[in-house]
């Protein structure tokens, strides 16, 4: 049904053509001196859009007899109708998906969703989304033969437009959200660990534990919301390792961090690999080890004449090289070369620093390289029987390497590296 729309200034005008062809034009007005005005015959009074929505009728083409026919069918029907209205702050919410029984429904521009069902009790279930919480989240609704039953649900809007996830989960948005950005940080790698104990044999060997690389940091912008479930997988930091001597080989390479990603319908929207685990070895003079790669690289270590350890990187930096030796150059781990701050912005937390590296000789010959800020500090000793490096403290941080060199082969010595830190996901969104 549509209202008649006269041209501006032509409201209530009529034209009468008499039998002889004479035309009389003028303005039609009541002259009945009414004591009470009646309701005008308009679409808003007779068949408004919200009534059409409730009955499932077309807003423009349906006529009053369609509505009466619908009511007659409902009265004679063995079915009943359920209408649920969803509001927030007193305003209707459009495009809210929920279920009534096993049936999926979605609210219209009036915040209403309706369904015709066989008489009985059903459960209306609302899934909380990242931007909305529902009260109640589920409720009993009833379909009554030949009747329309009405129910109301209130949604509370999120006070923010950004959320951080440090563990794996599934999320979704309501239809109010137009698009969103994703920031992923992979898990940091753990450091390597090495032990070398001696008496008189080969005191010139050096134990080396390289720090773990920071997890990579990746951003995907302006992902269109289609109301599908988003699967968030947060990569774990690499587990710490222990090197023993003389019961084992005395070396243990660090573990890589896990991949962090967000997927939709099996397709990854954003993915950040984990940082590399630090290497370990017991090296001779003129040998060394490279740093671990990652979002930020860890420092290298070498034994040219005495010892050399490079500092580890942060904010996407490479780790520093160790001192050049005749057999070649031992290089710091490769960083991603761009900021590891959320969404690539110029301020905020720096994620994914690398852990520090270490090298231990005998006597007072030992050194560590500094970790990136928040990366695990290295452990080194030539006097202790057991040492443990520090784990990363910010998301995606690499763990510290551990190196122990001790003059006594009759004891059991252990060096334990620092663990990498788990990654994270940050999502921010915009409304339509």
- Per-residue DSSP letter, 46: H
pLDDT in tens, 81-133: 899 999 988 889 888 889 999 999 989 888 999 898 889 999 999 888 899 98
The structure tokens listed for 387 are: 């040492």
Weakest-pLDDT range from 149-158, 260-269, 311-320, 387-396: 149-158
Q: What is the C-alpha to C-alpha distance for residues 265 and 432, in angstroms, rounded to an integer?
A: 23
pLDDT confidence of residue 410:
65
Separation in Å, CA 253 to CA 53, 108, 423:
66, 58, 21
Question: DSSP 3-state assignment of 88?
Answer: strand
**Strand duo 80-88 + 91-92: pairing:** antiparallel
Query: Rounded to the nearest 5 degrees, what angle is found at the Cα of 110, between the Cα atoms of 108 and 114?
Result: 55
pLDDT(209) > 80: yes
Better-scored residue on pLDDT, 300 or 46: 300
User: Which pLDDT belongs to residue 323?
Assistant: 81
Q: Please name which of 246, 243, 241, 184 lies closest in space to residue 215, comparing C-alpha atoms.
A: 184
**Surface-to-core class of residue 263, CB atoms within 10 Å of its CB (0-12 exposed, 13-18 middle, 19+ buried):** middle
> Cα(134)–Cα(113) distance, rounded to whole angstroms?
15
* Higher pLDDT, residue 394 or 127: 394
Dist. CA 90–CA 76, nearest whole Å:
35
Determine which of 30-44, 100-114, 379-393 has the lowest per-residue pLDDT on average. Answer: 30-44
pLDDT of residue 23: 81
Distance (Å, rounded) from C-alpha 188 to C-alpha 293? 10
Give the C-alpha separation, 2 to 267, whole Å: 46
Give pLDDT, residue 246.
Answer: 64
pLDDT tens sequence across 53-88 = 766 677 777 787 777 766 665 555 678 889 999 998
Mean pLDDT for the chain overall: 89
Over residues 375-389, the mean pLDDT reads 94
| 333 HSE (CA, 13 A, CB side) | 39
**Which pLDDT band, with edges at 50, 70 and 90, does 332 fall under?**
very high
- pTM value? 0.77
Written as six digits, the tokens of 261 are 């990603």
Q: Is residue 44 pLDDT above 80, yes or no? A: no
Asked if 432 contacts 177 with a C-beta cutoff of 8 angstroms, the reply is yes
The ranges assigned to domains in the chain are 47-157, 160-432
Q: Is 70 helix (H, G, I), strand (E, B) or coil?
A: helix
Residue-wise pLDDT for 165-192, tens only, equals 999 999 999 888 999 999 999 999 999 9
The 3-state DSSP composition of the chain as helix, strand, coil percent (nearest 5) reads 5, 35, 55
Q: Which tens digits make up the pLDDT trace of 257-282?
A: 999 999 999 999 999 999 999 999 99
Dist CA 114 CA 100 (whole Å): 9
Q: Is 376 helix (H, G, I), strand (E, B) or coil?
A: coil
Residue 295 near residue 336 (C-beta atoms within 8 A): yes
| % the chain with pLDDT above 90 | 57
Overall average pLDDT of the 206-228 stretch: 96
Specify the DSSP element, H or E, that contains 49: helix 49-55
Q: What percentage of the chain has pLDDT greater than the value 70?
A: 93
Let me know the angle formed at the C-alpha of 227 by 224 and 229, rounded to the nearest 5 degrees: 105
Sheet strand arrangement including 242-245: 242-245, 413-416, 386-388
Cis peptide before 380 (omega within 30 of 0): no
Mean pLDDT across 343-366: 93
Report DSSP state, residue 342. Answer: G
Lowest average pLDDT, out of 28-42, 278-292, 300-314, goes to: 28-42
Q: Which of the listed CATH numbers 3.40.50.300, 2.60.40.10, 3.20.20.10, 3.40.30.10 matches domain 47-157? A: 2.60.40.10
CB 371 within 8 A of CB 312: yes
- Top-confidence residue, 267 or 21: 267
């Amino acid at each position: 049904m549509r209202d008649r729309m006269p041209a501006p200034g032509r409201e209530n005008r009529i034209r009468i053509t008499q039998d002889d062809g004479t035309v009389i034009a003028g303005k039609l007005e009541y002259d009945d001196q009414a004591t009470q005005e009646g309701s005008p015959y308009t679409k808003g009074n007779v068949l408004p859009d919200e009534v059409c929505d409730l009955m499932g009728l077309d807003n423009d083409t349906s006529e009053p007899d369609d509505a009466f026919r619908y009511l007659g069918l409902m009265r004679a029907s063995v079915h009943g109708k359920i209408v649920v209205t969803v509001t927030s702050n007193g305003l209707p919410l459009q495009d809210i998906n929920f279920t009534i029984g096993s049936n999926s429904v979605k609210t219209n521009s009036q915040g209403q969703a309706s369904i015709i069902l066989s008489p009985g009790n059903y459960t209306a279930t609302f899934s909380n989304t990242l931007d909305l919480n529902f009260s109640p989240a589920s409720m009993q609704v009833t379909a009554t033969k030949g009747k329309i039953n009405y129910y109301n649900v209130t949604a509370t809007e999120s006070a923010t437009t950004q959320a951080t996830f440090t563990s794996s989960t599934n999320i979704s948005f309501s239809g109010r959200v137009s698009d969103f950005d994703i920031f992923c940080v992979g898990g940091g790698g753990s450091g390597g660990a090495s032990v070398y104990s001696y008496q008189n044999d080969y005191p010139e060997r050096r134990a080396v534990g390289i720090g773990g690389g920071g997890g990579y940091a990746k951003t995907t912008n302006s992902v269109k919301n289609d109301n599908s479930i988003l699967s968030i997988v947060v990569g774990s930091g690499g587990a710490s390792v222990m090197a023993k001597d003389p019961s084992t080989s005395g070396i243990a390479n660090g573990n890589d961090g896990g991949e962090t990603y967000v997927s939709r319908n099996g397709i990854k929207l954003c993915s950040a690999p984990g940082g590399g685990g630090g290497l370990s070895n017991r090296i001779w003079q003129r040998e060394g080890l490279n740093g671990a790669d990652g979002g930020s690289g860890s420092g290298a270590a070498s034994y040219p004449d005495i010892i050399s350890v490079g500092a580890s990187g942060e904010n996407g930096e490479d780790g520093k090289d160790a001192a050049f030796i005749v057999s070649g150059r031992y290089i710091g781990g490769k960083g991603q070369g761009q900021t590891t701050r959320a969404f690539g912005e110029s301020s905020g937390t720096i994620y994914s620093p690398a852990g520090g590296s270490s090298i231990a000789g005998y006597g007072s010959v030992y050194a560590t390289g500094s970790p990136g800020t928040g990366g695990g500090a290295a452990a080194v000793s030539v006097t202790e029987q057991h040492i443990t490096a520090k784990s990363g403290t910010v998301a995606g941080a690499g763990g510290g390497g551990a190196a122990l060199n001790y003059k006594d082969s009759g004891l059991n010595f252990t060096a334990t590296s620092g663990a990498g830190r788990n990654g994270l996901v940050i999502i921010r969104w915009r409304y339509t």
